[in-house]
Amino acid sequence: MSELDDLKAAFVNLWGRMGPLWGIPPTAARVYGWLIASAEAADAETIASALELSRGGVSMALKELRDWGLIVVARAPGSRRDLFGPEDDLERAMRNIVTWRKRREWDPMLHDFRDWIPRLDKERSAAAAVFRRRLAEMEAMATLVDGMTNQFLAGGTLQKIGLKAMLTMAKVTGRRRRG
């Protein structure tokens, strides 16, 4: 195996471990990692063979990645096979991940907090007061983060200066710290 092959395999495994932290199943994350590491779009059979996964497992992973907006699908001219590649716009991919995470995690949590806090107002015990205060603090922090998330998704500061410019600044700053 070449150095490139070793690094691609390590990257795919890293992505497979990181995916669940973002709410993406490990197999879908491995497929996404493989697509990122590949120079060309590929059909499902090629992906399944390369990752030693079942065709059905790859199909489910590709559907999940398509739902998340993390891959692009194209059809080769004169062919009936779909070719899959990663979303090349990093900012769009990040927005898609944040949108899904918000919808699955933050929105239901905020809904519950906003339902529970008024219900605890009716309770007169010290334990209820402590719990209510803690929930209110959590709700306030979650509301703050939710507001920043909504600004990010609406195209706030990142839209104006661009994620790529921020990443470039981060690289320059990182070099200065090491140098």
Indicate whether 30 and 43 sit together in one domain: yes
Domain extent, residue 72, equals 3-86
Asked whether residue 128 is domain-assigned, the answer is yes
At 114, the pLDDT band (50, 70, 90 cuts) reads very high
Indicate whether 19 and 94 sit together in one domain: no
Burial of 134 (0-12, 13-18, 19+ CB in 10 A): exposed
Indicate whether 80 and 107 sit together in one domain: no
Asked whether residue 176 is domain-assigned, the answer is no
Indicate whether 27 and 61 sit together in one domain: yes
Indicate whether 150 and 106 sit together in one domain: yes
- Window from 44-53, 122-131, 155-164, 165-174 with minimum mean pLDDT: 155-164
Residue 85 above 80 pLDDT? yes
pLDDT tens digit sequence for 23-59: 889 999 999 999 999 999 999 999 999 999 999 999 9
Alpha-carbon torsion (105, 111, 114, 119), positive or negative:
negative
Residue 157 above 60 pLDDT? no
Indicate whether 73 and 124 sit together in one domain: no
pLDDT, residue 48, reads: 97
DSSP string for 1-43: --HHHHHHHHHHHHHHHHHHHHT--HHHHHHHHHHHH-SS-B-
What is the arithmetic mean of pLDDT over 155-167?
Answer: 60
Asked whether residue 45 is domain-assigned, the answer is yes
Residue 158 above 60 pLDDT? no
Helix (H) or strand (E) holding 83: strand 82-86
- Of 86, 121, 142, which one is at a domain's C-terminal end? 86
At 172, the pLDDT band (50, 70, 90 cuts) reads low
- Of 86, 112, 130, which one is at a domain's C-terminal end? 86
Indicate whether 151 and 97 sit together in one domain: yes
What is the arithmetic mean of pLDDT over 107-117?
Answer: 95
Q: How many CB atoms lie within 10 A of CB 178?
A: 5
Asked whether residue 179 is domain-assigned, the answer is no
User: Domain of 65: which CATH number?
Assistant: 1.10.10.10
Asked whether residue 177 is domain-assigned, the answer is no
- Of 86, 107, 124, which one is at a domain's C-terminal end? 86
Alpha-carbon torsion (75, 77, 78, 83), positive or negative:
negative
Number of domains the chain contains: 2
pLDDT tens digit sequence for 93-111: 888 888 888 998 889 999 9
Q: Is 162 left (phi over 0), alpha (psi -120 to 50) or beta?
A: left
